[in-house]
Structure 1
Amino acid sequence: MRPRIPHQQAAERGPVPVDIEARLDAELASVVTGARRRALRDGDRQIDTAHLLHTLLESDPEVRAVFDSAPQVARLLGYLVQRSIGYGLRWQSSVEDSGAVPTVIEGGWSPVAARAMEAACEWAVRRGDELAGGVDLFAAIVTDPESRAVEVLGRAGVDVPALLARIGTAAGRGIEA
């Protein structure tokens, strides 16, 4: 049986750069693998920013440290778990897209998630790093106000502009909301 969101060969990924996953540090590559598994398990046809957010929160202490408090992270994880067990069914079989690209990117990425991966790599390069890390991706997924990750954050009571300011200040990423 062939997986619905396969780890396709780089040349098949279309708008996602050929070497995108080669530009991720080991921890972020693990996050991408986890998000891919989560999307498959949830029955989604794409890896979206909410899958990435969920996996980042579970696996990256640097991302969790950006939040105001541990209870805020716990509330956010609770909301994401509800989504994964059915709360987010209205999102299944739909494309996460804020209007720029009206299709699913080949390789199983939503257009918003694909752009976030690109932005994370670009921020790493501007910072002088060759590889993007978890906080780079976290910042990138929450800069698009139409992303599912931002919707999830808002529903969990997170002040996204304040969160972005903390990310930019703490990590020197030059992030603009």
Structure 2
Amino acid sequence: MQNRTPDTGWAEAADGTPLSTELASAVTGARRRAARDGDRQIDTAHLLHTLLEADPGARQPFPGGPAQVARLLGYLVQRTIGYGLRWTGTVEDSGALPVLAAETVPGWSPAAARAMREACARARARGAERVDGTDLLAALLCDPRCRAVDVLLRAGVDTALLAAHLDGPDRSVCPGR
């Protein structure tokens, strides 16, 4: 089977800020997961799934603790093995919505590309040396219409409470908003 997901994406932020080892692993995993699933783009659910697998720090802020993360991962696995087919062709990956050229990244849904840009902005805002998994998790929460937020809500995660756990004096969920 030919890989339909181009091998593009982030090794570092546009300004040169590197990704943490865990986040880089999650991005690589999302690319593999999209290809394995036959998706033409990495979407926010791919990012969420691999982030939770690769980064223990991204699992920490969940208000329901390890049990909630386990339930969420179970839901994501169901999606991967076919129960999530109802998402095929939805707005995040269909190309149905017009997108500004600056928002496009080959092989990434517009929502996933925006989430990565938001994660980079969040890391810059707190003066971090690296973009980490909690930066991406918070950035995913910034788009209430993305697949990742849909998955979180379907798994019973209180996204407002999760955002509050991620927010702090040196971190702001959705810094540009």
1 CA distance for matches of 2:14 and 2:74?
34
* Native 8 Å contact 1:95 1:110 kept in 2: no
The structural deviation recorded for 1:3 is 2.2
The structural deviation recorded for 1:142 is 1.5
Aligned to 2:116: 117
Aligned to 2:21: 26
Matches for 1:61-140 after TM superposition, within 5 Å = 61-68=56-63, 69-96=65-92, 101=99, 105-140=104-139
1:1-46 residue CA offsets vs partner (Å, 9 max, x unmatched): 7521121488xxxxxx984786322221111000000111111111
Structure 1: segments with no counterpart, 5+ residues: 11-16
Structure 2: segments with no counterpart, 5+ residues: none
Q: Which amino acid aligns with 1:36?
A: R
Secondary structure in 2 matching 1:123: helix
Q: Which amino acid aligns with 2:26?
A: V
**Sequence identity of aligned pairs in percent?**
56
2 CA distance for matches of 1:102 and 1:156?
32
2 CA distance for matches of 1:110 and 1:75?
25
Q: Which amino acid aligns with 1:174?
A: S
1:55–1:9 Cα change, 3 Å: closer
Matches for 1:145-160 after TM superposition, within 5 Å = 145-160=144-159
1:82-110 residue CA offsets vs partner (Å, 9 max, x unmatched): 00000121223444179672899342100
* Native 8 Å contact 1:20 1:117 kept in 2: no
Secondary structure in 2 matching 1:45: coil
Aligned to 2:160: 161
Secondary structure in 1 matching 2:92: coil
1 CA distance for matches of 2:17 and 2:89?
29
The structural deviation recorded for 1:130 is 3.5
Comparing 105-114 and 160-169, the one that deviates more: 105-114
Q: Report the TM-score when normalising by structure 2.
A: 0.84
1 CA distance for matches of 2:16 and 2:41?
16
Secondary structure in 2 matching 1:47: coil
RMSD: 2.8
Off by >6 Å, runs of 4+ in structure 1: none
Q: Report the TM-score when normalising by structure 1.
A: 0.84
2 CA distance for matches of 1:157 and 1:36?
26
The structural deviation recorded for 1:131 is 2.3
1 CA distance for matches of 2:43 and 2:16?
16
2 CA distance for matches of 1:175 and 1:80?
23
Q: Which amino acid aligns with 1:82?
A: Q
Secondary structure in 2 matching 1:141: helix
